[in-house]
Amino acid sequence: MAKASSFDIVSEVDLAEVTNAVDQARREIVQRFDFKNTGTSIEQDDDLIELRSSTEDRLKAAVEVVKDKMVRRQVSLKAVHEGPVLPAAKGTYRQAVNINRGISDEKARDINKAIKALGLKVQTQVQGDQIRVTAKSKDDLQAVIGELKERDFGIPLQFTNYR
């Protein structure tokens, strides 16, 4: 009897690369003429990045600089969620940018539904913030991976622990 094979679907972000991107963005903003005297700053706390500036325009530009640095460091922008631009103290503006990690229950349901719709002989099991997919046939597993790579679930997906 064939042994079952499996893999895990995860959504992870390399936080070291996010930190590097934020550091690069910070250095660029300090040097750029269009950011002089705008009080633009970037703070990072794990998976939360907070940007502040004296104008909404400079705030949006700073967010673009951060996103540009992330793309260059292979951080998927699908993992980036921009909060609303909010007024802050002394007539300044702030905006939070969250780095989403893991697969939410809602996304897990969407992914499960997509896998079930393929009609292959595979089982799925949600395990915390990841999904394990099991099947007797490695071809079925590869078909699932191929299909999921084609679809956009709004988060970056990686396929790990392929056995």
Each residue's pLDDT tens digit, 109-157: 999 999 999 999 999 999 999 999 999 999 999 999 999 999 999 999 9
- 31 pLDDT band (50/70/90 cuts)? very high
Considering the segment(s) 15-99 as one domain, its CATH architecture is: 2-Layer Sandwich (3.30)
Class of 5-12+102-160 in CATH: alpha beta
Q: Which amino acid is at 77?
A: L
Q: Phi, psi at residue 125, to the nearest 5°? A: -145, 120
Read off the pLDDT of residues 40-80 as tens digits, 9 standing for 90 and up. 999 999 889 999 999 999 999 999 999 999 999 999 999 99
Report the candidate in 131, 132, 82, 143 with the shortest Cα–Cα distance to residue 107.
131
How confident is the model at residue 163, as a pLDDT? 87
The domain locations on the chain are: 5-12+102-160, 15-99
pTM of the model: 0.85
DSSP string, 66-81: HHHHHHHTT--GGGEE
What mean pLDDT do residues 2-6 have? 79
